[in-house]
Amino acid sequence: TPVALERVSLSAAAFKGLAEKPLRERLAAQPGGLYPLYQSEFGLTVVRARERARTGAADRRAARAPALPLGAPVLVVRRTAIGLGDQPVEFRSSVINTAQHDYVNLLEPPR
Protein backbone atom coordinates (compact mmCIF):
# COMPACT_ATOMS: atom_id res chain seq x y z
CA THR A 1 0.00 0.00 0.00
CA PRO A 2 1.44 3.39 -0.92
CA VAL A 3 2.41 5.53 2.06
CA ALA A 4 3.37 8.80 0.36
CA LEU A 5 2.69 10.89 -2.69
CA GLU A 6 5.63 13.01 -3.85
CA ARG A 7 5.69 15.81 -6.38
CA VAL A 8 9.15 16.86 -7.56
CA SER A 9 9.76 20.13 -9.41
CA LEU A 10 12.98 20.66 -11.36
CA SER A 11 14.42 23.40 -13.53
CA ALA A 12 13.80 22.66 -17.24
CA ALA A 13 17.10 24.38 -18.09
CA ALA A 14 19.17 22.35 -15.61
CA PHE A 15 17.46 19.05 -16.47
CA LYS A 16 17.20 19.47 -20.22
CA GLY A 17 15.86 16.34 -21.93
CA LEU A 18 14.53 14.67 -18.78
CA ALA A 19 11.15 12.97 -19.24
CA GLU A 20 9.08 10.86 -16.86
CA LYS A 21 9.31 7.46 -18.58
CA PRO A 22 13.10 7.52 -19.07
CA LEU A 23 13.44 8.81 -15.50
CA ARG A 24 11.51 5.81 -14.15
CA GLU A 25 13.69 3.47 -16.23
CA ARG A 26 16.91 5.11 -14.98
CA LEU A 27 15.76 4.88 -11.36
CA ALA A 28 14.95 1.19 -11.78
CA ALA A 29 18.42 0.56 -13.23
CA GLN A 30 20.23 2.81 -10.73
CA PRO A 31 18.69 2.41 -7.26
CA GLY A 32 19.50 4.93 -4.56
CA GLY A 33 17.06 7.72 -5.30
CA LEU A 34 17.13 10.82 -7.39
CA TYR A 35 20.23 12.56 -6.04
CA PRO A 36 22.79 10.09 -7.45
CA LEU A 37 20.96 10.35 -10.79
CA TYR A 38 21.10 14.16 -10.68
CA GLN A 39 24.86 13.91 -10.21
CA SER A 40 25.64 11.18 -12.75
CA GLU A 41 23.30 12.35 -15.53
CA PHE A 42 23.22 16.13 -15.08
CA GLY A 43 26.33 17.01 -13.05
CA LEU A 44 24.26 18.48 -10.20
CA THR A 45 25.36 17.57 -6.68
CA VAL A 46 22.95 18.00 -3.78
CA VAL A 47 24.94 19.04 -0.72
CA ARG A 48 22.14 19.78 1.72
CA ALA A 49 18.38 20.02 2.02
CA ARG A 50 15.97 22.15 3.99
CA GLU A 51 12.64 20.65 5.02
CA ARG A 52 9.51 22.06 6.56
CA ALA A 53 6.81 19.73 7.89
CA ARG A 54 3.27 20.35 9.05
CA THR A 55 0.06 18.46 9.45
CA GLY A 56 -2.63 18.67 6.81
CA ALA A 57 -5.62 16.88 5.33
CA ALA A 58 -5.60 14.58 2.30
CA ASP A 59 -6.93 16.39 -0.75
CA ARG A 60 -8.46 14.55 -3.73
CA ARG A 61 -5.11 13.77 -5.35
CA ALA A 62 -3.49 12.55 -2.11
CA ALA A 63 -6.56 10.51 -1.21
CA ARG A 64 -6.21 8.54 -4.48
CA ALA A 65 -2.48 7.82 -4.37
CA PRO A 66 -1.78 6.75 -0.77
CA ALA A 67 -5.26 5.16 -0.51
CA LEU A 68 -6.49 7.60 2.13
CA PRO A 69 -9.99 8.85 2.77
CA LEU A 70 -10.52 12.44 1.62
CA GLY A 71 -9.69 14.75 4.53
CA ALA A 72 -7.65 12.14 6.44
CA PRO A 73 -4.81 13.60 8.52
CA VAL A 74 -1.44 13.57 6.73
CA LEU A 75 2.02 15.00 7.19
CA VAL A 76 3.00 17.47 4.46
CA VAL A 77 6.76 17.87 3.97
CA ARG A 78 8.23 20.50 1.66
CA ARG A 79 11.91 20.11 0.78
CA THR A 80 14.35 22.34 -1.06
CA ALA A 81 17.48 20.47 -2.11
CA ILE A 82 20.49 22.77 -2.41
CA GLY A 83 23.45 22.12 -4.68
CA LEU A 84 26.97 23.42 -4.97
CA GLY A 85 27.05 27.20 -5.06
CA ASP A 86 23.95 27.36 -2.83
CA GLN A 87 21.64 26.98 -5.85
CA PRO A 88 18.30 25.15 -5.47
CA VAL A 89 18.33 21.87 -7.39
CA GLU A 90 14.94 20.42 -6.49
CA PHE A 91 11.68 21.40 -4.85
CA ARG A 92 9.73 18.44 -3.44
CA SER A 93 6.37 18.22 -1.76
CA SER A 94 5.42 14.99 0.01
CA VAL A 95 2.04 14.02 1.45
CA ILE A 96 2.58 11.19 3.92
CA ASN A 97 0.13 8.83 5.58
CA THR A 98 1.47 8.55 9.12
CA ALA A 99 -1.43 6.49 10.51
CA GLN A 100 0.78 3.39 10.72
CA HIS A 101 4.19 4.79 9.80
CA ASP A 102 6.65 7.30 11.22
CA TYR A 103 8.40 9.86 9.06
CA VAL A 104 12.15 9.45 9.45
CA ASN A 105 14.60 11.15 7.12
CA LEU A 106 18.35 10.68 7.26
CA LEU A 107 20.14 13.04 4.89
CA GLU A 108 23.66 11.73 4.70
CA PRO A 109 26.25 11.33 1.96
CA PRO A 110 26.27 8.09 -0.05
CA ARG A 111 28.65 5.38 1.12
Phi-psi region at 28: left, alpha or beta (left = phi > 0; alpha = psi -120 to 50): alpha
Q: How much is the average pLDDT of 1-19? A: 88
Q: Return d(Cα 89, Cα 109) in angstroms, integer.
A: 16
**Residue 45's pLDDT is what?**
95
Q: For 43-69, what is each residue's pLDDT tens digit?
A: 999 999 999 999 999 998 888 776 788
- Chain centroid offset of residue 68 CA: 19
Q: What is the pLDDT of residue 87?
A: 93
Instruction: Read off the pLDDT band of 111 (50, 70, 90).
Output: low
Average pLDDT over residues 7-22: 89
Beta-bridge partners for 91: 9, 80
Q: Which run of H or of E encompasses 50?
A: strand 46-57
pLDDT average, residue stretch 32-44: 89
72: pLDDT strictly greater than 80: yes
pTM listed for this prediction: 0.82
Strands 88-96 and 46-57: unpaired
Q: Would you state the pLDDT for residue 73?
A: 92
Residues 6+ positions from 76 with CB-CB distance below 8 Å: 53, 54, 55, 56, 93, 94, 95, 96
